[in-house]
């Protein structure tokens, strides 16, 4: 966020256990909501793909959408891009209802699908130009937009190359160029880094941040947690068509657990009074739980606690050497598993 240095997300539990977030800027003034989804419901026959979903995304925000397969991510994005309809609720993009102002909304949305969506017999430039032309760009404007998009993804020197001769990473970048050439205000990216090398991934992630700096709002899905942690301002975890959590990375972690594991490697003899040490350590402030696992003492401590000198002192007093200390905090993947009960892949 360029204009907002301090913000917080006011979280409220709506009826039927649905979570609704409103983006509040500095001084309590609401930032411009660029995308607003309210009570969205979508059925495929008897199957409820999206179940009363409500959320909003502010202007120039990178909003991460995480969820296991079949959670409803793609359906939600398809609804926003008006690729499919919905049964209940409303979706507004830039304060325009997507049903009422379908064409206007489509003009300001850019779509980067998960699959490589390119014409194999057209050159990179022709692909970009064709998709940009569908959004009404013509003549010089079209040429400059195509050139700019190719430069943006680092393919300006491959403008005449056909996709079938490109590497996987280059195709991915061209896929992005086709989705952003018409300078959309809202960009929906569905796993844009699948199957690309590390160098291309870095380039793509840097490009997404640049897009945000240029004023675009981005909705981003990925199976790579580190990507989501790296670029997203807020992250929503969706499962069974519902939001199970939404917020910044830290908010999500603290919503699941406020503790971390401290593992102290030592040497414990067979006749050592382990139970006494455990009860001593458990009684210390900031320590929630203690246990011994072979030659390791494992302490569950408050996540915010950084001073463990008291714990170490007690261990030393018992004559145990300190061979090593590791601290393991929860990451987004742990949060995801804790909330959904499944791994992302």
Q: Cβ of residue 102: shortest distance to another protein, in angstroms?
A: 8
Largest Cα–Cα distance in the chain?
85
Say if CB 127 and CB 120 are below 8 A apart. Answer: no
Q: Where does residue 215 fall: left (phi above 0), alpha (psi -120 to 50 degrees), or beta otherwise?
A: left
Q: Cβ of residue 50: shortest distance to another protein, in angstroms?
A: 9
CA distance 40 to 207: 31
Of 48 and 261, nearer to another protein (C-beta) is 48
Collapsed DSSP state (helix, strand, coil) of residue 48:
strand
Adjacent-strand bridge partners of 326 = 263
Residues 55-94: x where in contact with another protein by CB under 8 A, - otherwise, as a string: --------------xxxxxxx--x--xxxxx---------
Q: How many residues bind another protein (CB under 8 A)?
A: 41
Q: Cβ of residue 250: shortest distance to another protein, in angstroms?
A: 29
Collapsed DSSP state (helix, strand, coil) of residue 96:
strand
Site for another protein in 106-165 (CB under 8 A): 106-107, 109, 111, 113-122, 126, 130-131, 133-136
Residues 177-196: x where in contact with another protein by CB under 8 A, - otherwise, as a string: -xx-----------------
Cβ neighbours of residue 33 closer than 8 Å, sequence gap 6 or more: 22, 23, 56, 57, 58, 59, 92
Residues 318-337: x where in contact with another protein by CB under 8 A, - otherwise, as a string: --------------------
CA distance 93 to 272: 65
CA distance 130 to 128: 6
Of 42 and 314, nearer to another protein (C-beta) is 42
Of 43 and 224, nearer to another protein (C-beta) is 43
Q: Cβ of residue 103: shortest distance to another protein, in angstroms?
A: 5
Say if CB 266 and CB 316 are below 8 A apart. Answer: no
Q: Cβ of residue 292: shortest distance to another protein, in angstroms?
A: 45
Binding site for another protein (CB under 8 A): 44, 47, 49, 69-75, 78, 81-85, 103-104, 106-107, 109, 111, 113-122, 126, 130-131, 133-136, 178-179
């Amino acid at each position: 966020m360029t204009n907002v240095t301090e913000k917080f997300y006011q979280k409220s539990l709506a009826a039927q256990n649905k979570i609704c977030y409103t983006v509040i800027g500095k001084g309590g003034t609401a930032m411009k909501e660029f995308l607003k989804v309210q009570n969205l419901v979508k059925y495929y026959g008897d199957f409820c793909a999206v179940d009363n979903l409500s959320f909003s995304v502010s202007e120039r925000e990178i909003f991460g959408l995480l969820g296991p397969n079949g959670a409803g991510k793609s359906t939600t994005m398809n609804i926003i891009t008006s690729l499919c309809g919905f049964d209940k609720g409303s979706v507004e993009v830039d304060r325009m209802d997507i049903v009422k102002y379908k064409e206007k909304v489509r003009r300001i949305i850019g779509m980067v699908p998960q699959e490589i969506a390119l014409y194999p017999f057209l050159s990179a430039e022709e692909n970009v130009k064709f998709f940009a032309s569908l959004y009404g760009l013509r003549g010089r404007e079209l040429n400059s937009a195509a050139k700019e998009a190719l430069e943006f993804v680092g393919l300006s020197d491959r403008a005449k190359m056909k996709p079938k001769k490109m590497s996987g990473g280059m195709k991915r970048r061209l896929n992005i160029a086709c989705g952003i050439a018409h300078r959309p205000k809202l960009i929906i990216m569905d796993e844009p880094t699948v199957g690309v090398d590390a160098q291309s991934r870095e380039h793509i992630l840097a490009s997404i941040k640049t897009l945000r700096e240029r004023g675009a709002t981005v909705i981003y899905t990925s199976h790579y947690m580190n990507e989501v942690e790296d670029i997203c301002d807020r992250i929503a975890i969706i499962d069974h068509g519902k939001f199970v959590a939404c917020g910044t990375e830290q908010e999500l972690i603290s919503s699941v657990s406020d503790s971390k594991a401290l593992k102290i490697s030592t040497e414990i003899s067979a006749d050592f009074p382990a139970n006494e040490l455990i009860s001593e350590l458990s009684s210390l402030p900031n320590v929630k739980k203690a246990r011994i696992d072979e030659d390791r003492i494992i302490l569950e401590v408050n996540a915010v606690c950084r001073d463990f000198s008291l714990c170490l002192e007690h261990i030393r007093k018992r004559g145990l050497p300190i061979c090593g200390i590791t601290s393991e905090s929860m990451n987004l993947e742990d949060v995801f598993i804790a909330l959904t009960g499944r791994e992302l892949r």
